[in-house]
């Protein structure tokens, strides 16, 4: 059968030897036909383009159960916070995550990884979507301060820094 034939991998998924056609198709489908689409072939620098391709085509390392639960808790916290704001501050300009709750665990992972590599300071900048949720669940700004801002209370306008 053709799926058992071996072909030169050419670096696909980090492999440089021979791979069965079924493995090649599995890697291509897993990388380019799932939930996330990535465009990178327009990148002029061949080294940068190859770096991205190599990482995108690798087989993902599954999360440990404890990490899965930690991510789930962060997603639940973000969703519950959005629901609370939506029901208690109706009509208030609040810059919700609008379905992008995964931003919270992703930012946690990025900041944890940065800290492990000795990064001492991070500047976060993005459009206003999800700012309240990120301030509460990533930066650690107290709920009381966030709710106070919705209600027009100015608690001294202090700067919030992650610890």
Is residue 158 exposed (0-12), middle (13-18) or buried (19+ Cβ within 10 Å)? exposed
User: Half-sphere exposure (CA, 13 Å, Cβ side) for 83?
Assistant: 6
Q: How far apart are CA 110 and CA 13, in angstroms?
A: 23
Q: What is the pTM of this model?
A: 0.57
pLDDT at 57: 85
Cβ(137)–Cβ(84) below 8 Å: no
Distance CA 58, CA 35 (A): 16
**Residue 157, pLDDT score:** 55
Name the residue among 71, 52, 49, 53 with its Cα closest to residue 62.
71
Q: What is the DSSP letter of 18?
A: E
34: tokens are 């799932």
CA 16 to chain centre: 29
The pLDDT of residue 153 is 64
The tens place of each residue's pLDDT in the chain, 163 residues long, gives 688 999 988 888 777 889 889 988 988 888 888 777 778 889 999 999 989 888 888 877 888 999 999 999 988 888 888 888 788 877 666 666 776 778 788 888 899 999 999 999 988 776 666 777 888 888 888 888 887 777 776 655 555 555 4
- The predicted pLDDT at position 116 comes to 94
């Amino acid at each position: 059968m053709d799926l058992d034939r071996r072909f030169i991998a050419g670096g696909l998924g980090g492999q440089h030897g021979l791979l069965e056609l079924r493995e090649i198709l599995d890697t291509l489908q897993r990388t380019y036909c799932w939930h996330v689409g990535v465009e990178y072939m327009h990148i002029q620098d061949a080294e940068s383009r190859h770096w991205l391709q190599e990482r995108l085509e690798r087989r993902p390392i599954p999360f440990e159960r404890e990490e899965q639960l930690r991510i789930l808790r962060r997603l639940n916290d973000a969703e519950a916070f959005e629901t609370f704001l939506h029901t208690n501050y109706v009509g208030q300009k609040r810059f919700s995550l609008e379905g992008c709750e995964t931003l919270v665990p992703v930012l946690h992972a990025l900041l944890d990884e940065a800290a492990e590599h000795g990064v001492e300071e991070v500047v976060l900048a993005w459009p206003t979507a999800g700012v309240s949720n990120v301030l509460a669940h990533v930066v650690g700004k107290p709920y009381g301060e966030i709710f106070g801002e919705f209600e027009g209370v100015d608690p001294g306008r202090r700067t919030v820094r992650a610890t």
